[in-house]
Structure 1
Amino acid sequence: MRSFNAFVEKWMALVTPFCLFMGVLFASQFSRILFLVPYIFAFMTFCGSLGSRFSDIRRVVQHPLPLFLSVLILHAVLPFLALGAGNLLFPQSPYIITGMVLEFVVPSAVVSTMWVSIYCGSAPFTLSLLLIDTLLAPFSVPFSLHLLVGSNVQVDTVGMMKELLLMVGIPALVGMTLNQLTGGTVKQTLSPRLAPFGKIALMLVVCANSSKVAPFIRNMTPRLFAVAGSILLLAVLGYALGWAFAAVLKLKREIVVSMTFGCGMRNISAGAVIAAAYFPAEVMFPVMIGTLFQQVLAACFAQLLIKRCGVQKEV
Structure 2
Amino acid sequence: MRPTMDTPIQKPFGLRFNDWFEAKMFIITPVSMILGFFFYKWLEDATVLVPYLFAYITFVMALGCNPRQMRDALGMPLPIIVTLSLVHLVAPLAAYAAGTLLFGAGSPYVVGLVLFAVIPLGVSSVIWVGLSGGNVPLVLTLIVIDSLISPFVVPLAVDMLFGADIHFDHWKVMLDLLVIIFIPTVLGVAVNAASKGRAKLWSAPYSMPVSKVAFAAVILINAAAIAPHVFAMGTDLIRLIPVVLLFVAFCYALGWFGALPFRNKEITVTITYSSGMRNISLGIVIALQYFEPAAAVPVVMGILIQQPMATLQNRLQKLYWKKRESRVTLT
Aligning the two structures, in what range does the TM-score lie when normalised by the shorter sequence? over 0.9
Corresponding position: 1:202 with 2:215: yes
User: What is the CA-CA distance between 1:280 and the residue it aligns to?
Assistant: 1.4
1:20 — aligned with what?
A: 33
Q: 2:199 aligns with which of 183, 186, 201?
A: 186
Provide the C-alpha distance between the structure 1 equivalents of 2:161 and 2:225, rounded to a whole number of angstroms.
24
Provide the C-alpha distance between the structure 1 equivalents of 2:93 and 2:309, rounded to a whole number of angstroms.
21
Conserved? CA contact 1:268–1:291, under 8 Å: yes
Conserved? CA contact 1:27–1:214, under 8 Å: yes
Corresponding position: 1:141 with 2:154: yes
Equivalent residue runs for 1:1-315 within 5 Å: 1-91=14-104, 93-250=106-263, 252-310=264-322
Provide the C-alpha distance between the structure 2 equivalents of 1:135 and 1:272, rounded to a whole number of angstroms.
19
RMSD: 1.5
User: What is the CA-CA distance between 1:93 and the residue it aligns to?
Assistant: 4.0
Distance change in 2, residues 1:266/1:110 (3 Å) = same
Provide the C-alpha distance between the structure 1 equivalents of 2:60 and 2:236, rounded to a whole number of angstroms.
38
Aligned length in residues:
310
Using the TM superposition, name which of 86-95 and 9-18 deviates more: 86-95
User: What is the CA-CA distance between 1:219 and the residue it aligns to?
Assistant: 4.2
User: What is the CA-CA distance between 1:185 and the residue it aligns to?
Assistant: 1.9
Provide the C-alpha distance between the structure 1 equivalents of 2:198 and 2:130, rounded to a whole number of angstroms.
19
1:103 aligned partner, one-letter code: F
User: Which sections of structure 2, spanning at least 5 residues, go unmatched?
Assistant: 1-13, 324-331
Using the TM superposition, name which of 239-248 and 52-61 deviates more: 52-61
2:6 — aligned with what?
A: none
TM-score by length of 2: 0.90
1:214 aligned partner, one-letter code: A
Provide the C-alpha distance between the structure 2 equivalents of 1:53 and 1:142, rounded to a whole number of angstroms.
29
Give the structure with higher Rg (CA).
2
User: What is the CA-CA distance between 1:112 and the residue it aligns to?
Assistant: 0.8
2:143 aligned partner, one-letter code: L
1:231 aligned partner, one-letter code: V
User: What is the CA-CA distance between 1:108 and the residue it aligns to?
Assistant: 0.2
Provide the C-alpha distance between the structure 2 equivalents of 1:151 and 1:116, rounded to a whole number of angstroms.
39
Paired-residue identity, %: 34
SS in 2 for 1:107: coil
Distance change in 2, residues 1:137/1:92 (3 Å) = closer
SS in 1 for 2:196: coil
Conserved? CA contact 1:106–1:137, under 8 Å: yes
User: What is the CA-CA distance between 1:162 and the residue it aligns to?
Assistant: 0.9
Distance change in 2, residues 1:76/1:47 (3 Å) = same
User: Which sections of structure 1, spanning at least 5 residues, go unmatched?
Assistant: none
State the Cα deviation string for residues 224-264 of structure 1 (Å, max 9, x = none). 222222121111111111122222331x2111111111111
